[in-house]
Amino acid sequence: MASGHYYHFINGKFGLLTQIRSNQSHLSTCYRPLMVLMVRNQSYCSSIEVDIQEYLKKAIPVRPPVSVFEPMHYLTFAAPQSKAPTLCIAACELTSGDGSQAMAAAAALHLTHAAIYTHENLPLTDRPRPKPEVPHKFGPNVELLTADGIIPFGLELLARSMDQTQNNPDKILRVIGEITRAVGSQGIVAGLYRELQMDQPDINVDRAIDYVCKKKEGELHACGAACGAILGGGDEEEIEKLRKYGLYVGMIHGMLNGVGKNKEGLMEEKIEKLRILALKELENFDGKKVELISSLCSA
Amino acid sequence: MASGHYYHFINGKFGLLTQIRSNQSHLSTCYRPLMVLMVRNQSYCSSIEVDIQEYLKKAIPVRPPVSVFEPMHYLTFAAPQSKAPTLCIAACELTSGDGSQAMAAAAALHLTHAAIYTHENLPLTDRPRPKPEVPHKFGPNVELLTADGIIPFGLELLARSMDQTQNNPDKILRVIGEITRAVGSQGIVAGLYRELQMDQPDINVDRAIDYVCKKKEGELHACGAACGAILGGGDEEEIEKLRKYGLYVGMIHGMLNGVGKNKEGLMEEKIEKLRILALKELENFDGKKVELISSLCSA
């Protein structure tokens, strides 16, 4: 039986409404308006996702040399979607920016995620357990190379996006700094290292899951939200609040779908705590967009 | 018996002096001043290399988490040195900049090169021929991850270098665009793809070597020289001339030490032609530094 704190959007302000315990009888009366809300918010997120996919399709057409661009195109879209790029656009809009100003950053975030996903599933000589659910249309050599090209391509898109988006170069440089830090040795890569060690007998699995979720999904989502807020013109407080919101959203995602998936322990309780922490970060934001971005910490 | 065109530095101008055929008797009279010149120039390049290594050592100390930073530090310095970072500093100084303004870019170029070198030598399940001369202190999994962190780290250094170097953000963004393009699917990665295909029976090996040297070493060195010129304040003509100079220097390097190494064919003749083309690009530059940078196309 799941329990939850639910936030509601009242008089243009977002706040903790009530704690609802989901027994069946209660569900029928309390969940209906929430369900309507969730459907509307999810369609907002879906439309952002569609925009990002469209942007990427135009940015990576299959063109000569086909031997390079075909796997690049394929691997970009083969990776499961991450919420980090969606968060980036939503945070930009929440801080009064236009979503298009954050589109190159959102694309760079997806490309980063797709490249890491490809490398994570690469059949290496010391990685004997390929996941059967991950198809390999191309050989490991080509997958390795292609992903090596995908991250720089994303950053190149971003570096060259200045003219189109009217953003000043300081903001773009700051966003590049954010993404490179999130993917690097203090972000995703640190999480992946710890994940490699999870089979060791002396490891505290529970703490390791927290760390991996924080560094891997957490840092990317935190980065996505912070980048959106930077590009949208948020002030430092808003950027940091959205960074934290993104961190919690990413950690929830890691616990549900990443290293925490199907793990025994206090996962449900942890996720519930993270969700409350996440929504608290949105409390001081005004406007309809806050309701929309909040849906990213559910599901 | 090798033959060569030699350039000399006369009255502050750099120009084609004479064609010397290297028979032994001629060598003793003609080569002595050239030898003195070469030693001086090489010590200029060596001192740049030392500066870059020092900068990198400070940028990547072995610090917690050690499991991440130890392999990062090791793999950064395990890769053979490339001339692309040296070219970057030398081109910056040639265009009246201070070498320190290009130091973060030079470091990013070395890190890019080191990461690609690590991935090139990764034992993959479909790459059955590891080079015996490349040691593997860490397992493939750790090498893959570490190199994944190294390129973003270099770009992060660059994105954050603005304050220290007094460069304007437009220049830094342009340099990031240059490096990401050079490493990506139209640069090094395209070269590596073609290299994978070199064993196929229908391939024209001679043309494939040209292509691989152009895309792999050529693009990185071209990028290094262009980045140095951008950061040094060169005008567009100077940037493009130095980019071409770097391209030829890189191709020579690829033919001597890369895919062209120990290959039959017209390699010597090709290298000689590239050297002449390279030095021609320096003809319109003034000052002592042109003599120094020119040494990078020999050896």
pLDDT in the model for residue A19: 41
B151: number of CA atoms within 13 Å, CB side? 32
- Are the beta carbons of A142 and B174 separated by less than 8 Å? no
Q: pLDDT digit string (tens) for B250-263? A: 999 999 988 888 77
Residue count of chain B, please give it. 299
Average pLDDT of the residues in A58-63: 91
- Shortest Cα–Cα distance, A109 to chain B (Å): 13
> How many other C-beta atoms can be found within 10 angstroms of the C-beta atom of residue B261?
11
B119 pLDDT exceeds 80?
yes
Most confident by average pLDDT, A67-71, A146-150, B23-27: A146-150
Higher pLDDT pick, A211 / A137: A211
pLDDT in the model for residue B42: 74
pLDDT in the model for residue B286: 82
Residue count of chain A, please give it. 299
- For residues B27 and B276, what is the distance between their CA atoms, to the nearest angstrom? 20
pLDDT in the model for residue A15: 54
Most confident by average pLDDT, A147-161, A203-217, A227-241, B61-75: A227-241
Q: pLDDT digit string (tens) for A213-260? A: 999 999 999 999 999 999 999 999 999 999 999 999 999 999 998 888
Q: Which of A113, A122, A145 to mutate to test the interface with B (most CBs of B within 10 A)?
A: A145
**Which residues does residue B20 pair with via DSSP β-bridges, in sequence order?**
B4
In this structure, is the dihedral angle defined by the CA atoms of residues B147, B149, B154 and B155, taken in order, positive or negative?
Answer: positive
Average pLDDT of the residues in A118-146: 81
**How many CB contacts within 8 angstroms connect chain A with chain B?**
160
Q: Which of B217, B270, B248 is nearest to B82 (CA)?
A: B217
Token reading at A259: 């290293």
Average pLDDT of the residues in A157-173: 80
- Are the beta carbons of A176 and B155 separated by less than 8 Å? yes
Place of tokens 């393009």: B181
3-state DSSP percent of chain A in helix, strand and coil, to 5: 70, 5, 25
- For residues B85 and B67, what is the distance between their CA atoms, to the nearest angstrom? 27
Strand segments (E) across chain A: 3-10, 13-21
Structurally, chain B folds into a number of domains equal to: 1
Asked if A296 and A249 touch (Cβ cutoff 8 Å), the reply is: yes
Q: What integer best gives the mean pLDDT of chain B?
A: 84
Interior CA angle at A249 toward A83 and A5, to 5°?
130
Average pLDDT of the residues in B237-244: 98
A64 CB contacts (<8 Å, ≥6 apart)? none
B218: number of CA atoms within 13 Å, CB side? 23
pLDDT in the model for residue B41: 72
Portion of chain A with pLDDT greater than 70, in percent: 82
Q: pLDDT digit string (tens) for A257-272? A: 888 887 766 788 899 9
- For residues A171 and A162, what is the distance between their CA atoms, to the nearest angstrom? 9
Asked if B209 and B194 touch (Cβ cutoff 8 Å), the reply is: no
A172 pLDDT exceeds 60?
yes
A12 pLDDT exceeds 80?
no
Q: Whole domain around residue A293: which residue ranges?
A: 3-297
> How many other C-beta atoms can be found within 10 angstroms of the C-beta atom of residue A168?
12
Minimal-distance CA residue of chain B relative to A138: B126
Q: Which of A287, A294, A297, A155 is nearest to A234 (CA)?
A: A287
- Amino acid code (one letter) for A281: E
Asked if A175 and A162 touch (Cβ cutoff 8 Å), the reply is: no
Token reading at A85: 């790029």
ipTM: 0.82
Token reading at A102: 């954050």
Find the helix or strand (DSSP H, E) in which A83 lies.
Answer: none
> The domain spanning residue A290 has which CATH number?
1.10.600.10
Q: pLDDT digit string (tens) for B197-224? A: 888 888 888 899 999 999 999 999 999 9
pLDDT in the model for residue A26: 41
pLDDT in the model for residue A203: 87
Backbone angles phi, psi at B18, to 5 degrees: -165, 165
Place of tokens 């080191």: B114
Portion of chain B with pLDDT greater than 70, in percent: 82
Task: State the pLDDT confidence band at B117, using cuts at 50, 70 and 90.
Answer: very high
Q: pLDDT digit string (tens) for A95-115? A: 999 999 999 999 999 999 999
Higher pLDDT pick, A140 / B86: B86
- Which of A64-68, A89-93, A292-296 has the lowest average pLDDT? A64-68
Indicate the DSSP class of residue A82. Answer: P
Strands A13-21 and B3-10: unpaired
Backbone angles phi, psi at A30, to 5 degrees: -85, -30
- For residues B276 and B294, what is the distance between their CA atoms, to the nearest angstrom? 11
A28 pLDDT exceeds 50?
no
B211: left (phi over 0), alpha (psi -120 to 50) or beta: alpha
Token reading at B258: 């890369």
Is A208's Cβ below 8 Å from some Cβ in B? no
- In A, residues 148-187, which contact B (CB 8 Å cutoff)? 148-149, 151-153, 155-156, 159-160, 162, 168-170, 172-174, 176-177, 179-181, 183-186
Find the helix or strand (DSSP H, E) in which A122 lies.
Answer: none
Task: State the pLDDT confidence band at B37, using cuts at 50, 70 and 90.
Answer: low
DSSP string, A123-180: -BTT-----TTS--SS-HHHHHHHHHHHHHHHHHHHHT-HHHHT--HHHHHHHHHHHH
Q: Which of A92, A101, A176, A238 is nearest to B162 (CA)?
A: A176
Task: State the pLDDT confidence band at B27, using cuts at 50, 70 and 90.
Answer: very low
**Chain B hits for A183, Cβ within 8 Å:** 148-149, 152
